[in-house]
Amino acid sequence: MQTTNNKILFRIYGRGRGWAFSASDFIGEFERKQIDNALSDLTKEGKIRRICRGMYDYPKYSDLLGQELSPDHEQVAQAFARKFNWRILPSGDAALNLLGLSTQIPGKVVYLSDGPNRKYTILSYQLEFKKTALKEIGFKHRESGLIAQALKALGKDRITSEVIEKIRKQIAPEKYGKVLKETRTVTGWVYDVIKRICREG
Protein backbone atom coordinates (compact mmCIF):
# COMPACT_ATOMS: atom_id res chain seq x y z
CA MET A 1 0.00 0.00 0.00
CA GLN A 2 1.57 3.28 -1.11
CA THR A 3 1.63 6.12 1.40
CA THR A 4 0.26 9.55 0.47
CA ASN A 5 3.84 10.88 0.55
CA ASN A 6 4.96 8.30 -2.02
CA LYS A 7 1.93 8.88 -4.25
CA ILE A 8 2.57 12.64 -4.30
CA LEU A 9 6.30 12.14 -4.84
CA PHE A 10 5.55 9.77 -7.74
CA ARG A 11 3.42 12.49 -9.39
CA ILE A 12 6.15 15.10 -8.85
CA TYR A 13 8.88 12.86 -10.28
CA GLY A 14 6.61 12.08 -13.24
CA ARG A 15 6.68 15.78 -14.20
CA GLY A 16 10.47 15.79 -14.34
CA ARG A 17 13.14 18.01 -12.82
CA GLY A 18 12.40 21.71 -12.91
CA TRP A 19 8.66 21.34 -12.31
CA ALA A 20 7.23 23.90 -9.85
CA PHE A 21 4.01 23.30 -7.97
CA SER A 22 1.81 24.13 -4.98
CA ALA A 23 -0.62 22.15 -2.83
CA SER A 24 -3.46 23.08 -5.22
CA ASP A 25 -1.88 20.87 -7.92
CA PHE A 26 -2.84 17.80 -5.88
CA ILE A 27 -6.16 18.91 -4.40
CA GLY A 28 -8.22 16.82 -6.83
CA GLU A 29 -6.76 13.60 -5.45
CA PHE A 30 -5.87 14.17 -1.80
CA GLU A 31 -7.13 16.05 1.23
CA ARG A 32 -5.46 19.38 1.95
CA LYS A 33 -4.01 18.27 5.30
CA GLN A 34 -2.49 15.17 3.68
CA ILE A 35 -0.91 17.30 0.95
CA ASP A 36 0.53 19.87 3.38
CA ASN A 37 2.01 17.11 5.56
CA ALA A 38 3.47 15.30 2.54
CA LEU A 39 5.06 18.46 1.08
CA SER A 40 6.51 19.34 4.48
CA ASP A 41 7.98 15.82 4.91
CA LEU A 42 9.36 15.67 1.36
CA THR A 43 11.02 19.08 1.83
CA LYS A 44 12.68 17.96 5.07
CA GLU A 45 13.90 14.81 3.29
CA GLY A 46 15.48 16.95 0.56
CA LYS A 47 13.39 15.36 -2.20
CA ILE A 48 11.71 18.64 -3.13
CA ARG A 49 12.62 22.28 -2.44
CA ARG A 50 10.51 25.06 -0.94
CA ILE A 51 11.09 28.13 -3.11
CA CYS A 52 8.72 30.57 -1.39
CA ARG A 53 5.71 30.35 0.88
CA GLY A 54 3.37 27.65 -0.42
CA MET A 55 5.43 27.03 -3.57
CA TYR A 56 7.88 24.19 -4.28
CA ASP A 57 9.92 22.69 -7.08
CA TYR A 58 11.68 19.46 -8.01
CA PRO A 59 15.01 21.17 -8.65
CA LYS A 60 17.25 20.62 -11.61
CA TYR A 61 20.80 19.68 -10.65
CA SER A 62 24.04 20.70 -12.36
CA ASP A 63 26.78 18.06 -12.25
CA LEU A 64 29.18 20.69 -13.58
CA LEU A 65 28.46 23.13 -10.76
CA GLY A 66 27.75 20.42 -8.21
CA GLN A 67 24.62 22.17 -7.02
CA GLU A 68 20.89 22.65 -7.57
CA LEU A 69 19.98 25.23 -10.20
CA SER A 70 17.84 28.31 -9.63
CA PRO A 71 14.08 27.64 -10.01
CA ASP A 72 12.85 27.85 -13.61
CA HIS A 73 10.93 31.16 -13.82
CA GLU A 74 8.50 29.88 -16.44
CA GLN A 75 7.64 26.80 -14.37
CA VAL A 76 7.18 28.91 -11.24
CA ALA A 77 5.01 31.48 -13.03
CA GLN A 78 2.84 28.70 -14.48
CA ALA A 79 2.45 27.19 -10.99
CA PHE A 80 1.14 30.53 -9.67
CA ALA A 81 -1.17 30.83 -12.68
CA ARG A 82 -2.65 27.39 -11.95
CA LYS A 83 -2.96 28.13 -8.24
CA PHE A 84 -4.86 31.41 -8.71
CA ASN A 85 -6.47 30.65 -12.07
CA TRP A 86 -4.72 33.58 -13.78
CA ARG A 87 -3.92 34.04 -17.43
CA ILE A 88 -0.29 35.09 -17.73
CA LEU A 89 2.21 36.11 -20.37
CA PRO A 90 6.00 36.59 -20.05
CA SER A 91 7.08 40.19 -20.50
CA GLY A 92 10.38 41.84 -21.39
CA ASP A 93 13.45 39.83 -20.38
CA ALA A 94 11.34 36.75 -19.56
CA ALA A 95 9.95 36.68 -23.11
CA LEU A 96 13.42 37.18 -24.63
CA ASN A 97 14.77 34.40 -22.44
CA LEU A 98 12.08 31.91 -23.46
CA LEU A 99 12.62 32.61 -27.16
CA GLY A 100 16.38 32.15 -26.85
CA LEU A 101 17.11 35.82 -27.58
CA SER A 102 18.79 36.38 -24.23
CA THR A 103 20.76 34.01 -22.03
CA GLN A 104 20.93 36.44 -19.12
CA ILE A 105 19.08 35.38 -16.01
CA PRO A 106 17.37 38.57 -14.86
CA GLY A 107 17.20 39.43 -11.15
CA LYS A 108 13.58 40.43 -11.63
CA VAL A 109 11.23 38.51 -13.91
CA VAL A 110 7.98 40.18 -14.96
CA TYR A 111 4.82 38.47 -16.19
CA LEU A 112 1.65 40.19 -17.36
CA SER A 113 -1.48 38.82 -15.71
CA ASP A 114 -5.25 39.24 -15.47
CA GLY A 115 -4.88 38.84 -11.68
CA PRO A 116 -3.81 41.49 -9.13
CA ASN A 117 -0.34 43.03 -8.91
CA ARG A 118 1.84 40.65 -6.90
CA LYS A 119 5.54 40.22 -6.10
CA TYR A 120 7.26 37.09 -4.82
CA THR A 121 10.87 36.44 -3.85
CA ILE A 122 11.90 33.10 -5.40
CA LEU A 123 15.27 32.23 -3.82
CA SER A 124 17.67 34.05 -6.20
CA TYR A 125 15.26 36.38 -8.04
CA GLN A 126 12.04 38.34 -7.78
CA LEU A 127 8.95 37.28 -9.71
CA GLU A 128 6.43 40.03 -10.42
CA PHE A 129 2.93 39.79 -11.86
CA LYS A 130 1.53 43.00 -13.35
CA LYS A 131 -2.20 43.43 -13.82
CA THR A 132 -2.71 44.10 -17.51
CA ALA A 133 -5.51 44.82 -19.96
CA LEU A 134 -6.90 41.55 -21.32
CA LYS A 135 -6.04 42.50 -24.93
CA GLU A 136 -2.35 42.20 -24.01
CA ILE A 137 -2.66 38.64 -22.70
CA GLY A 138 -5.87 37.39 -24.27
CA PHE A 139 -4.23 35.53 -27.15
CA LYS A 140 -5.51 32.02 -27.69
CA HIS A 141 -2.08 30.76 -28.74
CA ARG A 142 0.76 31.45 -26.34
CA GLU A 143 3.28 31.98 -29.15
CA SER A 144 1.37 35.08 -30.31
CA GLY A 145 1.74 36.96 -27.03
CA LEU A 146 5.25 35.71 -26.41
CA ILE A 147 6.53 36.98 -29.77
CA ALA A 148 4.73 40.33 -29.44
CA GLN A 149 6.20 40.91 -25.96
CA ALA A 150 9.71 39.89 -27.02
CA LEU A 151 9.69 42.23 -30.03
CA LYS A 152 8.44 45.13 -27.90
CA ALA A 153 11.18 44.44 -25.34
CA LEU A 154 13.86 44.44 -28.05
CA GLY A 155 12.62 47.57 -29.79
CA LYS A 156 12.32 48.29 -33.50
CA ASP A 157 15.99 49.23 -34.00
CA ARG A 158 17.32 45.92 -32.65
CA ILE A 159 15.36 43.66 -35.00
CA THR A 160 17.81 41.86 -37.30
CA SER A 161 17.49 38.94 -39.70
CA GLU A 162 19.28 36.86 -37.06
CA VAL A 163 16.61 37.75 -34.46
CA ILE A 164 13.85 36.88 -36.92
CA GLU A 165 15.47 33.52 -37.69
CA LYS A 166 15.91 32.69 -34.00
CA ILE A 167 12.24 33.39 -33.27
CA ARG A 168 11.12 31.49 -36.37
CA LYS A 169 12.93 28.38 -35.13
CA GLN A 170 10.86 28.47 -31.94
CA ILE A 171 7.51 28.25 -33.75
CA ALA A 172 6.02 25.25 -35.45
CA PRO A 173 5.26 26.19 -39.10
CA GLU A 174 1.63 25.10 -38.67
CA LYS A 175 1.23 27.90 -36.11
CA TYR A 176 2.24 30.70 -38.52
CA GLY A 177 -1.28 31.34 -39.80
CA LYS A 178 -2.78 31.35 -36.31
CA VAL A 179 -0.14 33.76 -34.99
CA LEU A 180 -0.65 36.13 -37.95
CA LYS A 181 -4.40 36.11 -37.50
CA GLU A 182 -4.24 36.73 -33.74
CA THR A 183 -1.67 39.51 -33.76
CA ARG A 184 -3.35 41.81 -36.29
CA THR A 185 -4.19 44.32 -33.55
CA VAL A 186 -0.62 44.77 -32.25
CA THR A 187 1.50 47.86 -33.01
CA GLY A 188 2.19 48.31 -36.73
CA TRP A 189 5.95 47.71 -36.74
CA VAL A 190 5.57 44.67 -34.44
CA TYR A 191 3.07 43.13 -36.85
CA ASP A 192 5.37 43.84 -39.79
CA VAL A 193 8.12 41.84 -38.05
CA ILE A 194 5.69 39.03 -37.18
CA LYS A 195 4.79 38.82 -40.88
CA ARG A 196 8.47 38.38 -41.71
CA ILE A 197 8.85 35.72 -39.00
CA CYS A 198 5.87 33.84 -40.40
CA ARG A 199 7.21 34.27 -43.94
CA GLU A 200 4.41 36.60 -45.05
CA GLY A 201 6.34 39.79 -45.44
Burial of 103 by CB count in 10 Å (0-12 exposed, 13-18 middle, 19+ buried)?
exposed
For residues 80-96, give the mean pLDDT. Answer: 93
Mean pLDDT, range 18-39, rounded to an integer: 96
* Residue 130, strand partner residues: 112
Topology (CATH) of 4-67: Arc Repressor Mutant, subunit A (1.10.10)
Q: Mean per-residue pLDDT for 93-104?
A: 86
* Each residue's pLDDT tens digit, 112-136: 999 999 999 999 899 999 999 867 7
Whole-prediction pTM: 0.87
- Domain borders along the chain are 4-67, 70-135, 139-197
Looking at residue 1, what is its pLDDT? 52
Q: Which of 128, 126, 124, 164 is nearest to 147 (CA)?
A: 164
- Return d(Cα 156, Cα 196) in angstroms, integer: 13
Percent of the chain with pLDDT over 70: 98
| pLDDT tens profile 133-142 | 867 777 888 8
- For position 21, what pLDDT does the model report? 98
pLDDT of 92: 86
Q: For residue 62, is pLDDT > 80?
A: yes
Average pLDDT of every residue of the chain: 92
Separation CA 87–CA 201 (nearest Å): 30
